[in-house]
Structure 1
């Protein structure tokens, strides 16, 4: 009887451990992972333990080589291959790197484009991607000593850069919406589509304040203004990361590129930045500060240097400013091979020296993986680097792997990836973003919106029916029919009309034209829609640098004149586009000009002669439908320029918030932009009345009445600018401090209210201390930086 009682006690009350499939053990009915295969539940394997307990236990068990391996971020698309029968397998390189180099992070594993040489055939569908990343995680867990899961970082600037995902407008277009709520929704979709395929880190948002418009990457950021950039970028961070980065539907946001990357000397990508400390802190780095305070968990250094110090080896930026002052709690990754670049910048003599310099400066992860590898191990073994420096960096990465739940379940559900990526609902959001991003620049005699009763429409131009010219840089190959061009959008809008298309010319090529045919088509039409601009479309003949930037050349068959590496000397329309436009105008037919572009291109002649002009930037996969919605009145445009549109390249820089010393005209003409920051027209009219300001303790409450006095419902972007009338240092002539996009029906009025805090009023004084100084401030509210409708003053004592 006594033996029976003991047996029953053992069965029901002692923990029972049994081996199940996939390395899962059962203990007291709860699953755990015996990752290091020692037959027991170590603290780092136990979900019930705190993250810090798990982290310290894992660090204790790791060798120096394993720690350094977690800091290496290699190129992930090299780790799988797909045969002619469509079978996907992991490569020998993958197994070797995990076994011998202990790699912990992959970059762009699912990326497909001409640089990676991954096509619709050789790349991965969402289902294949989920299956393949699961296989990678299974190998990492089952075939490495400690079973540490992998981090997969993916490009997510305007959609996850993978096959089958939703393609949104590029960031310069999304900035034109001035809609942070919509931007957050975009990022939620991007995060979901990346995470369901096995991604954990999304590269984005790009927060480079762009004041050098010759620079090739203007399209990737939110424009010239620090506050607008920071507001949109913070929304993108919130959308990517959500309330819980371990939700299974969110990813870590990586802010790019820290810092002053958007003001390169001569417009050269990665060129040096001529900026002072005050401009660096108050303007160029301010969007990063906003996004860090919004909770961003990762940040990427920039290729450039500031005042002789490379951003990838600048402890002031990454340690003092980012971590000590802003409270950043995530990890810092280099841009691709930017640690290697310390050698070409001649601040390091070898990869070992470059790696030590970057690590000590606060860089935690080496994208490219050449410098944080055996060199760091060697330096540590020989006493040139403390292992504590490595522990600090690896802790920042592993901590987030624990917080994302990857040690407990690194896998994704294949069926969800197949079902929830690139859905009609996601495409409808892309269409709404594209509609809100369209900026109406000119509408003489209310030519727009066009009547849907029109019988014959000529659609002409190199960007009217070119899929990839519509999508921007960092875009994956698109399946046939997945992108709606302007031509297709108009045809869908007017099923009963005769819609004729002639290309007319290319973006760059000056030889192969059909301008005469375009002219004849225009003469036989009731209205002409001409679609011109630029292109960031890479092709498989493009040459690339090791960093992935395209190499600009004179190859005529390429349209590419924007996108990473394609910096410009001027801003004129290339090829025969101006000749085409002038020929069409000479027909006497009504001409509507649609600009699809990655940066502002010169429009002086068009602004004088063409009656209706709009820019859609790169409007994404649903851009054609969105543009047709605007052209034919199904959507009232309300996009506003996120940068000042120059008249001439010689004006640059031409940003609105210059210092109070002011500017004067040139001998040849005005210094004013062609279209100012914040500008955009509507099909209706808004009036502003009754501005009111109340100083309430530590805040200032500003309100104004806005009324739609036109005949159509529409959105108005109400913009609040501030001027410090006297400060201890020179401050901007005016500075955007708040904005709201509001929808008003015809005749509707609304009281729009803003609250300004000390952060909006502060200055960086002569001793580089932030403070709110007493004195008078002028508050200006209007429809653009040059269209101020109401103003008043208030005093801070």
Structure 2
């Protein structure tokens, strides 16, 4: 799509006349630096335009790519209201059905943005959407995009090049539909086994996560931001893993973050690398540190987004970060969706009014309010003299600089036909499926009849759960009674305690890591009648102890299709996964461990980095058998 505002200057320079004055103003001049263009535009903007830049909220896509002119399932306002009347131009997109729909919508949204006084283009961001988890508060399943294992699966591959390749593919697919900002990578260290946010992390090993972070940012951003880049928001500073008892800080009962092992610096390591690699933005976590001291100074017990010692003192001054800081979602106002509510994550400052919370966030050093659209509140703070316009300008410069570096002012439109060709193309899908299969981790592989059970070979009859009959038909006749089977293969998810009181809570897997006793009994009964292969999806650890010694094989996956699982189990693709987290022996061991210390559960049933290989020789033997 071509913008109606494209013009040509007298010297032949092509530019977008975004303010419609017929002149190529400095901010419209593609030959100037991002800093020059930013400085020119800041001087032209009204207070209302500046304030609009400082909010980023959820936006939803019309069924056929039209802008949605009514509140959505989660979005609060019609699109024209937020773009034109509130001057907002950063949005976190939710459900996407097709590449054509998303690309068409981007173009319609950018055309709407041209109607604003200075034509500031929209930056579309997204949570991860290339894997399997579907959780509106965390990530989306792949849909039309290529599908890869979750972050834990990328970590299980223990291959920096695969992380970079994933990021490069995801970047190309994002750019094709107009998504230019990623609300990831999530580089929190998964040191608390119960924590419900582990699936999108890159594991517990700080040294490896640091290497993965560099590769991830290189794949998405390149060596520096440019017209083909996706700007990354690295999260959650200074590390969200050490949640007390593993409860998640989205919810009031999970607000405390603790460091009983004194490992604060360990959790900070990957973020130092993200800063070195020029991450475009950083997101502080919801968590409220309890009893934390940094360099001998007691840290205020308020959520990190409110914490001046952490955002300004540590991130900006000590670590030298001058990029964008965007808060996690809804620190100011409660979130009401239908008949459910989620209180503002105002941990430690619950007593403050919404206006006072906003003021404290700005004083802490953040540039943008995530999940909010209450622009009138910030306008009132400035007009009342409680926040200076100079303070607003500091954040506006950072936010505009990224837009200029991404080339959005020069051309934010995408080719709808090209988007259909690029997104989810056969090459990208094949790479994702291979990564799914390779990431599987073989934890147990016993010998039966003189050979290891894996790789699987054809048998007379096979019993299966968690697969369709067609998925496993290659292994033998599919039967419904395990007592009549020569092999049983059962796919299960890691256990969790179902909760559904607060908005989003039902999507989070939290609580105990123990399987229900009935399931344990039933699967061990199956194992007594025929060799049992258990495939367990690890979105966080699971207590697998009851199955060890019963199951003939135990295999972990981190987001894989049935086809990818069978490819790995039969050896068509050799599974190479190594555990990126440890598998505790018991819940007692979990409860006695320290939340911030990696590998602290004591005598784990499977330690971090454990994984058995199916060698080429074994695969060949299995094929002969």
Indicate which of 459, 467, 483 corresponds to 1:523. 483
Which position in structure 2 is the counterpart of 1:779? none
Which position in structure 2 is the counterpart of 1:154? 126
Indicate which of 72, 79, 84 corresponds to 1:99. 84
Which position in structure 1 is the counterpart of 2:297? none
Which position in structure 1 is the counterpart of 2:521? 579
1:335 positional shift: 1.0
Answer yes or no: is 1:354 the counterpart of 2:354. Answer: no
Cα deviation per residue 1:269-322 (whole Å; 9 max; x = unaligned)? 112111279521x21121221222222111112111113131001222222322
Which position in structure 2 is the counterpart of 1:59? 42
* 1:675 to 1:173, Cα distance in 2 relative to 1, 3 A: same
1:323 positional shift: 2.5
Cα deviation per residue 1:55-112 (whole Å; 9 max; x = unaligned)? 11101110111101001112111xx433xxx57344162112222211121112xx22
For residues 338-377 of structure 1, what are the structure 2 equivalents within 5 Å? 338-340=331-333, 341=344, 343=346, 345-346=348-349, 349-370=352-373, 373-377=375-379
Report the structure, 1 or 2, having the larger helix content. Answer: 2
1:361 positional shift: 1.1
Which position in structure 2 is the counterpart of 1:49? 32
Indicate which of 534, 538, 558 corresponds to 1:593. 534
For residues 520-669 of structure 1, what are the structure 2 equivalents within 5 Å? 520=481, 522-534=482-494, 545-546=502-503, 549-551=504-506, 564=508, 566-568=509-511, 570-574=512-516, 576-587=518-529, 589-619=530-560, 623-652=561-590
Answer yes or no: is 1:288 the counterpart of 2:271. Answer: yes
- What is the distance in 2 between the residues matched to 1:342 and 1:55? 32
Uncovered stretches (5+) of structure 2, i.e. residues with no partner: 71-77, 132-138, 291-300, 334-343, 621-625
Q: For the Cα contact (< 8 Å) 1:165–1:422, is it kept in 2?
A: yes
1:545 positional shift: 4.4
Q: Calculate the aligned-residue CA RMSD, in Å.
A: 2.9
TM-score using structure 2 length: 0.85
* 1:49 to 1:88, Cα distance in 2 relative to 1, 3 A: closer
* 1:190 to 1:400, Cα distance in 2 relative to 1, 3 A: same
Cα deviation per residue 1:627-659 (whole Å; 9 max; x = unaligned)? 212222223332111111101111126889998
Which position in structure 1 is the counterpart of 2:398? 396
Cα deviation per residue 1:469-506 (whole Å; 9 max; x = unaligned)? xxxxxxxxxxxxxxxxxx65444xx2xx53426xxxxx
For residues 650-689 of structure 1, what are the structure 2 equivalents within 5 Å? 650-652=588-590, 671-684=602-615
Secondary structure in structure 2 of the residue aligned to 1:209: coil
- What is the distance in 1 between the residues matched to 2:505 and 2:149? 21
1:223 positional shift: 2.2
Cα deviation per residue 1:436-476 (whole Å; 9 max; x = unaligned)? 2111111122423345443322222xx334xxxxxxxxxxx
Answer yes or no: is 1:140 the counterpart of 2:144. Answer: no
- Corresponding residue pairs, total: 575
Secondary structure in structure 2 of the residue aligned to 1:595: strand
- What is the distance in 1 between the residues matched to 2:392 and 2:373? 16
Indicate which of 106, 111, 131 corresponds to 2:104. 131
Indicate which of 211, 218, 231 corresponds to 2:191. 211
Q: For the Cα contact (< 8 Å) 1:312–1:339, is it kept in 2?
A: no
Q: For the Cα contact (< 8 Å) 1:156–1:190, is it kept in 2?
A: no
Secondary structure in structure 2 of the residue aligned to 1:628: helix
Answer yes or no: is 1:229 the counterpart of 2:209. Answer: yes
Cα deviation per residue 1:26-48 (whole Å; 9 max; x = unaligned)? 22333111111122111101111
Answer yes or no: is 1:259 the counterpart of 2:238. Answer: yes
Q: For the Cα contact (< 8 Å) 1:32–1:46, is it kept in 2?
A: yes
1:393 positional shift: 0.7
Indicate which of 324, 327, 331 corresponds to 1:331. 324
- What is the distance in 2 between the residues matched to 1:21 and 1:275? 53
- What is the distance in 2 between the residues matched to 1:572 and 1:26? 66
Indicate which of 241, 246, 265 corresponds to 2:221. 241
Secondary structure in structure 2 of the residue aligned to 1:165: coil
1:532 positional shift: 2.0
Answer yes or no: is 1:447 the counterpart of 2:420. Answer: no
Cα deviation per residue 1:718-739 (whole Å; 9 max; x = unaligned)? xxxxxxxxxxxxxxxxxxxxxx
Secondary structure in structure 2 of the residue aligned to 1:678: coil
- What is the distance in 2 between the residues matched to 1:330 and 1:267? 30
By relative contact order (CA 8 Å, sep 6+), the higher-ranking structure is 2
Answer yes or no: is 1:72 the counterpart of 2:33. Answer: no
Answer yes or no: is 1:500 the counterpart of 2:482. Answer: no
TM-score using structure 1 length: 0.68
Secondary structure in structure 1 of the residue aligned to 2:56: strand
1:543 positional shift: 5.6
Q: For the Cα contact (< 8 Å) 1:238–1:295, is it kept in 2?
A: no
1:406 positional shift: 0.6
Indicate which of 23, 40, 61 corresponds to 1:40. 23
- What is the distance in 1 between the residues matched to 2:345 and 2:3? 48
Q: For the Cα contact (< 8 Å) 2:55–2:372, is it kept in 1?
A: yes
Q: For the Cα contact (< 8 Å) 1:656–1:677, is it kept in 2?
A: no
Answer yes or no: is 1:458 the counterpart of 2:418. Answer: no
Answer yes or no: is 1:273 the counterpart of 2:257. Answer: yes
Which position in structure 2 is the counterpart of 1:730? none
Secondary structure in structure 1 of the residue aligned to 2:184: strand
- What is the distance in 2 between the residues matched to 1:654 and 1:149? 51
Indicate which of 294, 310, 327 corresponds to 2:303. 310
Q: For the Cα contact (< 8 Å) 1:152–1:201, is it kept in 2?
A: yes
1:364 positional shift: 0.9
- What is the distance in 2 between the residues matched to 1:21 and 1:210? 45
Secondary structure in structure 2 of the residue aligned to 1:62: coil
Cα deviation per residue 1:255-279 (whole Å; 9 max; x = unaligned)? 1222342221122111211127952
1:434 positional shift: 1.4
Q: For the Cα contact (< 8 Å) 2:148–2:432, is it kept in 1?
A: yes
1:186 positional shift: 0.8
* 1:41 to 1:450, Cα distance in 2 relative to 1, 3 A: closer
Cα deviation per residue 1:310-349 (whole Å; 9 max; x = unaligned)? 1001222222322333333321111110244364632662
1:676 positional shift: 0.8
* 1:428 to 1:343, Cα distance in 2 relative to 1, 3 A: closer
Secondary structure in structure 2 of the residue aligned to 1:580: helix
Secondary structure in structure 2 of the residue aligned to 1:205: coil
Indicate which of 143, 148, 163 corresponds to 1:168. 148
Q: For the Cα contact (< 8 Å) 2:184–2:233, is it kept in 1?
A: yes
1:422 positional shift: 0.9
Q: For the Cα contact (< 8 Å) 2:286–2:347, is it kept in 1?
A: no
Q: For the Cα contact (< 8 Å) 2:224–2:278, is it kept in 1?
A: no
- What is the distance in 1 between the residues matched to 2:177 and 2:517? 41
- What is the distance in 2 between the residues matched to 1:544 and 1:62? 43
Which position in structure 2 is the counterpart of 1:410? 412
1:124 positional shift: 3.7
